[in-house]
């Protein structure tokens, strides 16, 4: 299985991808981090990118979000060939990335974080100033839509829980018109309850027609929201599968590169 | 979650009292400090300290320090330090004096030239810090010595061997721009108040306080401008963000490098402003000008609530921090205490402020 086409489904009409990455390669000096990765995201789907540590997930999403330039391969955004020179370029095109560090500043208020780098202004010239009233109103509203009640817009982000911070970061990306939302291991440091909140948030975002790229190494989290699953191993795509066509066990095997885990699983009595 | 319960208030949140809200303002410590210091001097100092003349007396050094402290505070909120501002005062003072005395330039040329020169030095500082990724502490410590040394060498070159360059007053006294940077402001107002009997006057009818020293006007204007920028403009948000987490900020599209270099340029320009005002006031410049001012400015900023780690603080806090400073250094002369208690006081204030700020930061971020 190397392409979707290996699996014959005929469900869900094939909508055009928002972003398509073809045979992406990335070399750092003599290290080949990505050796031909193809990946695409369609509106309103959650496409999970799975892979073990060192599989190249981070390098790949950094390429997608404009941090790295691919050494070879092509990126098509809404059907057009695109080169992102900077994260800013990608952001402007509509690719929002929520990195693991969340790009949140604990000492600053939720509002200041929400609008960081994209502050609403009013007035002109020398009198161009922050539209604080609008910023506060939008923040409280957007957070409420995501199911979080803030004490006030001036509440410091440091007082929020990990899941809530994740939600602020997602809400921010959605508010600023993300077409593709890349989430880098959003559930890796969260407890059970917070994880389910974040998964629910992903579902909410997907329903708005945004394409979600969900990076994880937790098969269970991926299976609970994912529409398609792509496994990366040693810098290559092992294949993309649709929901219902693959079992968690198969996914787990693919991630670990097959045999080794089979052996390991035997010795651990099937608990992995 | 349904819409209905999404709007209910989280039952785990306690209502916040006004007091604990107030506790979260960064400038609270400085304001409390001002109250304490005023109370202290009301008890111990001579009554004349709290007359109009006494007020101008302690506000003048407070303002000179405060201009530096506000620049230092903005830079600290932006996550960097500048230990070279004291030396920058001497260096900018030298440049300014050479402009007006040796080259005979009018103020309209000399003053902008001094600012540009200072901004250039500031940008060198900033660029080295940003490019090398070294702590600004070390880079600007190097410039503390480099600029002080250059001021000495430059003074000797400019004067033919002396470390003092005189003749500034003679060179600028007829310049139309001089009143903006030296002497007293609002003289007409004070004369009118004197005639109306609202302020104390000498026997000849002239008011005892001829006006507000210009540095105080600059100081207040800068505090207002800096606060406005911090709290009400996108740039203010960028400054907080750059200091809070430079990486997160630049991932969010904040031009962190530009912000930081600009802040270094701003602090250098603050030093230049103090240099211009004090050099015109004394009529000469020397190599010791601004000596140790970098520490005093940082102390005032810290008393004003700035965290050493950046991302938190206020310009109003630095404003009050500088006033505390001025009140103590001048106030002690109105009391029976030995004036040298000043340094003890300064160190103690710094220590208390840092402990206090640390506690505040934990409250704000909800750290436990």
A125-168 per-position pLDDT tens digit: 778 888 989 999 999 998 888 878 888 888 888 888 888 888 88
Closest among B33, B88, B119, B60 to B292, alpha carbons compared: B88
Averaged pLDDT for residues B32-58 = 90
Cα atoms in the 13 Å half-sphere on the side-chain side of B233:
15
Q: What are the DSSP calls for A74-87, one per residue?
A: EEEETTEE----SH
- Pick from B13, B232, B248: CB nearest A132: B232
Checking if the pLDDT of A61 tops 60, the result is yes
Contact B234 A119 (CB under 8 A): yes
Residue A44 to residues A16, A17, A97, B251, Cα–Cα distance (Å): 11, 10, 16, 25
Of A97-111, B43-57, B206-220, minimum mean pLDDT range: A97-111
Confidence of residue B366 (pLDDT cuts 50, 70, 90): low
Contact A105 B364 (CB under 8 A): no
Averaged pLDDT for residues A46-57 = 87
Task: Look up tokens 């394409």; give the residue.
Answer: A211
Averaged pLDDT for residues B244-262 = 90
**pLDDT score recorded for residue B154:** 94
Averaged pLDDT for residues B175-192 = 88
- Contacts of B302 by beta carbon, 8 Å cutoff, 6+ apart: B76, B308, B321, B350, B353, B354, B357
**pLDDT score recorded for residue B90:** 96
Residue B72 to residues A120, A258, B14, B79, B317, Cα–Cα distance (Å): 27, 59, 37, 10, 12
Of A33-37, A175-179, A248-252, B49-53, minimum mean pLDDT range: A248-252
Averaged pLDDT for residues B108-115 = 96
**B110 vs B12 pLDDT, higher one:** B110
Interface size between A and B, measured as CB pairs under 8 A:
96
pTM confidence score: 0.85
The mean pLDDT of chain B is 88
Task: Look up tokens 């602090």; give the residue.
Answer: B267
The verdict on A119 touching B (C-beta cutoff 8 Å) is yes
Closest among A59, A81, A79, A80 to A71, alpha carbons compared: A59
Q: Crossing angle, helix B85-97 and helix B293-303, to 10 degrees? A: 130
Using CA coordinates, name the residue in chain A closest to B259. Answer: A117
DSSP A109: B
Q: How far is B77 from chain A (nearest CA, A)?
A: 11
Q: How far is B248 from chain A (nearest CA, A)?
A: 4
Other C-beta atoms within 10 Å of A264: how many?
11
B249 contacts in chain A (CB < 8 Å): 103, 105, 116-117
Name the CA radius of gyration of chain A, rounded: 20
Checking if the pLDDT of A258 tops 90, the result is no
Q: How far is B247 from chain A (nearest CA, A)?
A: 7
Sign of the dihedral through C-alpha B187, B189, B195, B199: negative
A103 contacts in chain B (CB < 8 Å): 245, 247-249, 251-252
Sign of the dihedral through C-alpha B155, B156, B157, B160: positive
Chain A 181-200, residues with CB within 8 Å of chain B CB atoms: 200
- Pick from A105, A144, A147: CB nearest B248: A105
Task: Look up tokens 């806090």; give the residue.
Answer: B317
Using CA coordinates, name the residue in chain B closest to A106. Answer: B365
Confidence of residue B3 (pLDDT cuts 50, 70, 90): very low
Name the CA radius of gyration of chain B, rounded: 22
Averaged pLDDT for residues B175-200 = 86
B237 contacts in chain A (CB < 8 Å): 112, 115-116, 119, 130
Checking if the pLDDT of B35 tops 80, the result is yes
Of A58-67, A219-228, B19-28, B144-153, minimum mean pLDDT range: B19-28
Residue A174 to residues A148, A154, A198, B91, B226, Cα–Cα distance (Å): 15, 21, 14, 51, 33
**pLDDT score recorded for residue A228:** 92
A102 contacts in chain B (CB < 8 Å): 248
Inter-residue contact B77 to B230 (CB < 8 Å): yes
**pLDDT score recorded for residue B23:** 65
Compute the distance between CA of residue A241 and CA of residue B28 in angstroms, rounded to an integer.
58
**pLDDT score recorded for residue B358:** 81
**B353 vs B100 pLDDT, higher one:** B100
Using CA coordinates, name the residue in chain A closest to B249. Answer: A103
Q: How far is A150 from chain B (nearest CA, A)?
A: 9
> If interface means Cβ-Cβ distance under 8 Å, which residues of chain B face chain A?
1, 6-10, 13, 16, 228, 231-234, 236-238, 240-241, 244-245, 247-249, 251-254, 307, 311-312, 361, 364-367
Compute the distance between CA of residue B178 and CA of residue B272 in angstroms, rounded to an integer.
15
The CA-based dihedral angle spanning residues B234, A128, A133, B251, taken in that order and rounded to the nearest 10 degrees: -20
Compute the distance between CA of residue B324 and CA of residue A121 in angstroms, rounded to an integer.
35
Checking if the pLDDT of A182 tops 90, the result is yes
Checking if the pLDDT of B6 tops 50, the result is no
Checking if the pLDDT of A37 tops 60, the result is yes
Q: Give the tokens for residue B66.
A: 């405060």
Contact B248 A103 (CB under 8 A): yes
Checking if the pLDDT of B280 tops 90, the result is yes
The verdict on A105 touching B (C-beta cutoff 8 Å) is yes
B252 contacts in chain A (CB < 8 Å): 103, 116-118
Checking if the pLDDT of B240 tops 60, the result is yes
The mean pLDDT of chain A is 83
- Pick from B7, B232, B237: CB nearest A116: B237
Residues forming a β-bridge with B165: B285
Checking if the pLDDT of B85 tops 90, the result is yes
The verdict on A158 touching B (C-beta cutoff 8 Å) is yes
Per DSSP (E only), the strands in chain A are: 19-28, 31-41, 46-51, 72-77, 80-81, 95-98, 121-122, 129-130, 180-184, 211-216, 228-233, 236-242
Checking if the pLDDT of A265 tops 70, the result is no
**pLDDT score recorded for residue B7:** 44
Burial class (CB in 10 A: 0-12, 13-18, 19+), B57: buried
Confidence of residue B367 (pLDDT cuts 50, 70, 90): low
Closest among B365, B315, B276 to B75, alpha carbons compared: B315
For the question of an ipTM over 0.85, the answer is: no
Checking if the pLDDT of A11 tops 90, the result is no
Confidence of residue A6 (pLDDT cuts 50, 70, 90): very low
Inter-residue contact A156 to B365 (CB < 8 Å): yes
Compute the distance between CA of residue B243 and CA of residue B78 in angstroms, rounded to an integer.
4
The verdict on A117 touching B (C-beta cutoff 8 Å) is yes
Averaged pLDDT for residues A34-60 = 88
Using CA coordinates, name the residue in chain A closest to B25. Answer: A154
Residue A116 to residues A38, A99, A198, B285, Cα–Cα distance (Å): 32, 15, 22, 44
Contact B311 A105 (CB under 8 A): yes
Q: How far is B21 from chain A (nearest CA, A)?
A: 10
Checking if the pLDDT of B2 tops 60, the result is no
**pLDDT score recorded for residue B338:** 87
Other C-beta atoms within 10 Å of A208: how many?
11
Averaged pLDDT for residues B204-228 = 91
DSSP A156: B
Checking if the pLDDT of B267 tops 50, the result is yes
Confidence of residue A7 (pLDDT cuts 50, 70, 90): very low
Using CA coordinates, name the residue in chain A closest to B229. Answer: A129
């Amino acid at each position: 299985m190397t392409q979707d086409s290996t699996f014959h489904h005929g469900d869900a009409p094939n909508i055009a991808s928002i972003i398509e990455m073809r045979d992406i390669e990335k070399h750092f000096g003599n290290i080949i981090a990505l050796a031909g990765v193809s990946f695409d995201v369609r509106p309103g789907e959650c496409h999970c990118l799975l892979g073990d540590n060192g599989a190249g997930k981070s390098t790949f999403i950094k390429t997608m979000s404009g941090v790295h330039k691919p050494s070879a391969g092509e990126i098509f955004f809404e059907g057009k060939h695109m080169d992102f020179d900077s994260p800013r370029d990608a952001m402007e095109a509509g690719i929002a990335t929520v990195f693991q560090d969340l790009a949140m500043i604990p000492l600053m208020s939720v509002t200041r974080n929400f609008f960081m780098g994209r502050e609403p202004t009013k007035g002109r010239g020398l009198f161009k100033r922050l539209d604080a009233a609008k910023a506060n109103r939008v923040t409280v509203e957007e957070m409420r839509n995501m199911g979080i009640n803030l004490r006030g817009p001036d509440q410091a982000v440091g007082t929020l829980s990990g899941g809530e911070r994740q939600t602020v970061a997602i809400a921010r990306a959605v508010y600023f018109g993300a077409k593709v939302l890349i989430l880098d291991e959003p559930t890796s440091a969260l407890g059970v309850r917070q994880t389910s909140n974040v998964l629910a948030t992903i579902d909410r975002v997907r329903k708005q027609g945004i394409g979600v790229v969900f990076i994880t190494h937790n098969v269970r989290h991926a299976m609970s929201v994912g529409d398609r699953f792509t496994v990366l191993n040693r810098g290559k795509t092992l294949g993309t599968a649709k929901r219902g066509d693959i079992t968690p066990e198969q996914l787990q095997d693919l991630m670990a590169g097959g045999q080794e885990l089979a052996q390991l699983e035997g010795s651990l009595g099937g608990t992995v | 979650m349904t819409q209905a319960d999404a709007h209910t208030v989280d039952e785990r949140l306690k209502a916040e009292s006004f007091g604990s809200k107030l506790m979260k303002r960064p400038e609270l410590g400085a304001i409390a400090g001002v109250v304490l210091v005023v109370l202290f001097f009301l008890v111990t100092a001579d009554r004349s300290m709290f007359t109009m003349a006494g007020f101008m007396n302690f506000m003048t050094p407070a303002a000179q320090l405060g201009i530096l402290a506000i620049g230092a505070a903005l830079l600290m909120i932006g996550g960097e330090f500048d230990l070279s501002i004291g030396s920058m005062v001497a260096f900018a003072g030298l440049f300014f004096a050479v402009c007006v005395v040796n080259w005979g330039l009018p103020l309209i040329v000399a003053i902008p030239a001094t600012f540009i020169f200072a901004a250039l030095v500031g940008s060198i500082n900033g660029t080295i810090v940003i490019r090398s990724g070294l702590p600004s502490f070390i880079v600007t410590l190097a410039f503390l010595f480099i600029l002080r040394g250059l001021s000495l060498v430059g003074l000797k070159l400019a004067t033919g061997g002396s470390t003092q360059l005189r003749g500034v007053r003679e060179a600028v006294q007829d310049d139309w721009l001089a009143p903006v940077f030296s002497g007293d402001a609002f003289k007409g107002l004070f004369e009118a108040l004197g005639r109306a009997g609202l302020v104390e006057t000498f026997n000849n009818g002239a008011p005892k306080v001829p006006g507000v020293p210009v540095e105080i006007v600059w100081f207040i204007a800068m505090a207002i401008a800096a606060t406005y920028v911090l709290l009400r403009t996108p740039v203010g948000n960028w400054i907080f963000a750059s200091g809070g987490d430079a990486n997160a900020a630049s991932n969010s599209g904040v031009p962190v490098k530009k912000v930081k270099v600009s802040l270094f340029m701003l602090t250098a320009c603050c030093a230049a402003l103090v240099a211009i005002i004090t050099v015109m006031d004394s009529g000469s410049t020397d190599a010791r000008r601004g000596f140790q001012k970098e520490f005093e400015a940082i102390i005032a900023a810290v008393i004003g609530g700035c965290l050493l780690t950046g991302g938190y603080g206020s310009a109003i806090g630095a404003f009050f921090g500088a006033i505390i400073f001025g009140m103590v250094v001048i106030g002690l002369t109105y009391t029976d205490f030995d004036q040298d208690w000043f340094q003890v006081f300064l160190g103690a204030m710094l220590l208390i402020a840092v402990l206090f700020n640390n506690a505040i930061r934990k409250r704000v971020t909800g750290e436990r």
